[in-house]
Chain A
Amino acid sequence: MNPALRVTDLRVSFFTRRGEVKAVDGISFEVGRGEVVGLAGESGCGKSTTAYAILRLVKPPGRIIGGSIYCDGAEVLDLDERELRSFRWKKVSMIFQSAMNSLNPVHRIRDQIAEAVIVHERVSRQEALARAEELLSLVGISRSRATDYPHQFSGGMRQRAVIAMALALSPTLLIADEPTTALDVVVERQVLELLKDMKRRFDLSVLFITHDLSTLAEFSNRIAIMYAGKLAETAGTKQLFSNPLHPYTSGLVRSLMGLAERGGKLWSIPGSPPDLAAEIEGCKFRDRCPVATEVCSKQVPELLEVEQEHYVACHNVTDR
């Protein structure tokens, strides 16, 4: 069966006064049907740009300059404006970090969701409103609150409403871009549980973007680690946590604060990500890498399979 999403050698650049910033620099990955894939990395690594590219939402001065995005039987980069409109809701929908930005403050929650349905499907207003209420009750918002305005909702309820809206047209793929980052821990956990539940119920495929690996631990099937526009490592979730091979990944995993260790220093990765406007030869992580060797400053490491379904882009791992 076709995967829900197949991204091949995707390249997105921003053309700024300082030159070309290669935000996404040739990445390839898949999201299988019914699979949850986590795309994780630091601010500025290109993970959100990847999401925007999949929905063709990259705005100037950014531009998709190459590659292919194959989603549910269609090449996304070939769609025209009209096709894109239905693609965006029916095939792929996205939830963002700030729920408030996805909701219109002057319309009632229920009506906004119904509106999304009416625009895309031939249904009566009555049917659309009923569907909106049903979706809202699925995400735990009662009928009595359905006609509230966004400002009357708490942060957690808003994010629930946004999830309901994203599911309104039964998309194949849901892209969640840091959906819980702005929320408190308890509410974050509730929203994650809701997403898990919705994934099962709607048989969704999910691309979950986050800087916090720990949110993926109990949710994703696979994780792709992104660094400076490239993929550093991809593996099954368990494997990635128990046997991270790329020095960047192991740094990320070690810097996660568990509730187990205390006293002594927390692990952290020294330095900060490179300036993507500058031309960097070799591996982009080498300046922060504890095991970098000469080859790392000369050759770009390729993402290679080192064990089954475990890919790493590191000379130290793949050249052995």
Chain B
Amino acid sequence: MTSDQDVEVVKQGGNQMFEIRNLKVHFPAQSAELFRRRIVRAVDGVSFSIGHGEVLGLVGESGSGKTTVGRAIARLTPPTEGSILLEGSDIASFRGSELKAYRRAVQMIFQDPYESLNPRLTVFSTIAFPMRIQGTARDEDEMRERCINLLTRVGLRHADIIDNYPHELSGGERQRVSIARALALHPRFIIADEPVSMLDISIRSSVLNLLTELKEQYGLTYLLIAHDLRVAYYMSDRIMVIYLGKIMETASTENFMRHQFHPYSRLLFSAFADLSSTELRWEKWGTTGEIPSAIDPPRGCRFHPRCPFRVDRCDKDPPPLSELEVGHYVACFNPQ
């Protein structure tokens, strides 16, 4: 029943790049009990769309399933149920040259630039690697030239670093190299999974500025995955909050920031020290526990055990995603 409601979200707005329909990704869990199979419901029925040129900010805590959604769209993790449509075609059906084209068009930037770069490859080899695999450059010279252009584009002085190894670079430089690598194949869609959370605050903003510039220059579409609402706020056109594999709330960034209907969104919002006001929004909340395991998620609304506004129904039925304002969808029986 939730999924029927969610499909409505998908239908509105015609010019969609991606349509995600009732996506579920379940994993077998390691279990101490030999004969009891347990399942991690990492993503448990989400439907949404991403428009051409849109930046969708997918916000949630560790364990919310946000990275799994990104990996499913990148075709790195197969869905258990549901489908992911790129301009109407199911990406699961892609084979051969179609799949190869999809892998070119969709690129991922990972959280940890220390782990996502091969320590044994120089910057040049790292960026040239996708070109080699996909055979998009004629020869070594063209590769090098394109590599230099890309490095310049991401704000690195290529002469200084093109033959360096990752350990010789700072965190910010590494993340820029990852971005250059993602751009090497002229993608249309980039999944940026916590692109700045491992970076120092002082260099986060410059990397976010870069991502914004690249989006405008190349007409890219982003799925931005973040636990930090400030990052999503700065970058995204639309924000979608996910909790234990379910969408809690989605709205345009303006609407979302003006008012969060879902108590969980409110909690995320209030977690930031507001430097411009002295009001201690957090005090109203106190301590409300942590995100539980996705192995046996709570019945009904998944947030109900932590929710200060829960009502009788919350532990029985899962609340459907319903439209409370134009384009503002909330899955809550007692929206605030």
**Residues of chain A at the chain B interface (Cβ within 8 Å):** 42-43, 140, 154-157, 184-190, 193-194, 211-215, 217-218, 241, 251-252, 255-260, 262, 265-270, 272
Please give the distance in Å from A15's CB to the nearest CB on chain B.
20
State the main secondary structure of chain B at its contact with A. helix
Instruction: From B227, B253, B287, give the contact of A140 (CB < 8 A).
Output: B287
Q: A42 near B61 (CB under 8 angstroms)?
A: no
Find chain B residues with CB under 8 A from A190 CB.
287, 290
Q: Is B206 on the interface with A (CB-CB < 8 A)? A: yes
Q: Is B229 on the interface with A (CB-CB < 8 A)? A: yes
Q: Is B152 on the interface with A (CB-CB < 8 A)? A: no
* Inter-chain pairs besides A43-B200, A259-B233, A266-B206, 9 sampled, C-beta below 8 Å: A184-B62, A184-B291, A185-B227, A185-B268, A217-B273, A218-B280, A252-B201, A255-B201, A259-B257
Instruction: From A186, A212, A213, A257, give the contact of B234 (CB < 8 A).
Output: A257
Q: Is B51 on the interface with A (CB-CB < 8 A)? A: no
Q: B170 near A272 (CB under 8 angstroms)?
A: yes
Report Cα–Cα, A272/B173, bound state, in Å.
10
Find chain B residues with CB under 8 A from A258 CB.
230, 274-276
Find chain B residues with CB under 8 A from A43 CB.
170-171, 200
Instruction: From A140, A193, A268, give the contact of B282 (CB < 8 A).
Output: A193
Q: A218 near B273 (CB under 8 angstroms)?
A: yes
- B275-286 vs A: 1/0 string, CB under 8 Å? 110001010000
Report Cα–Cα, A215/B272, bound state, in Å.
9
Find chain B residues with CB under 8 A from A251 CB.
202
**Residues of chain B at the chain A interface (Cβ within 8 Å):** 61-62, 170-173, 200-206, 208-209, 227-231, 233-234, 253, 257, 267-269, 271-276, 280, 282, 287, 290-291
Find chain B residues with CB under 8 A from A252 CB.
201-202
For this complex, 11 residue pairs linking A to B, each with C-beta atoms less than 8 Å apart, are A156-B290, A184-B61, A185-B272, A214-B201, A241-B275, A259-B230, A267-B205, A268-B203, A268-B206, A272-B170, A272-B203
Known contacts A155-B62, A259-B257, A211 near B200 by CB under 8 Å = yes
The 3 A-B pairs of least Cβ separation, nearest first, read A266-B205, A268-B206, A268-B205
Which residue from chain B places its CB closest to the CB of A219 in the assembled complex? B273
Q: A186 near B267 (CB under 8 angstroms)?
A: yes
Number of A-B contacts (CB under 8 A): 102
Instruction: From B200, B271, B287, give the contact of A185 (CB < 8 A).
Output: B271
Q: B202 near A185 (CB under 8 angstroms)?
A: no
Please give the distance in Å from A25's CB to the nearest CB on chain B.
20
Report Cα–Cα, A265/B234, bound state, in Å.
9
Q: B208 near A266 (CB under 8 angstroms)?
A: yes
Find chain A residues with CB under 8 A from B280 CB.
218
Which residue from chain B places its CB closest to the CB of A252 in the assembled complex? B202
Report Cα–Cα, A157/B290, bound state, in Å.
9
Report Cα–Cα, A211/B172, bound state, in Å.
14
Please give the distance in Å from B292's CB to the nearest CB on chain A.
9
Find chain A residues with CB under 8 A from B234 CB.
257, 262, 266
Q: A256 near B201 (CB under 8 angstroms)?
A: yes
Known contacts A267-B205, A268-B202, A215 near B287 by CB under 8 Å = no
Q: B205 near A255 (CB under 8 angstroms)?
A: yes
Known contacts A252-B202, A262-B253, A185 near B229 by CB under 8 Å = yes
Find chain B residues with CB under 8 A from A257 CB.
204-205, 230-231, 233-234
Which of B171, B200, B209 has the most chain A CB atoms closer than 10 A to its own CB?
B200
Which residue from chain A places its CB closest to the CB of B236 in the assembled complex? A262
Q: A217 near B275 (CB under 8 angstroms)?
A: yes
Report Cα–Cα, A212/B62, bound state, in Å.
20
Which residue from chain A places its CB closest to the CB of B212 in the assembled complex? A265
Find chain A residues with CB under 8 A from B208 CB.
266
Q: B201 near A266 (CB under 8 angstroms)?
A: no
Find chain B residues with CB under 8 A from A185 CB.
61, 227-229, 268, 271-272
Please give the distance in Å from B55's CB to the nearest CB on chain A.
12
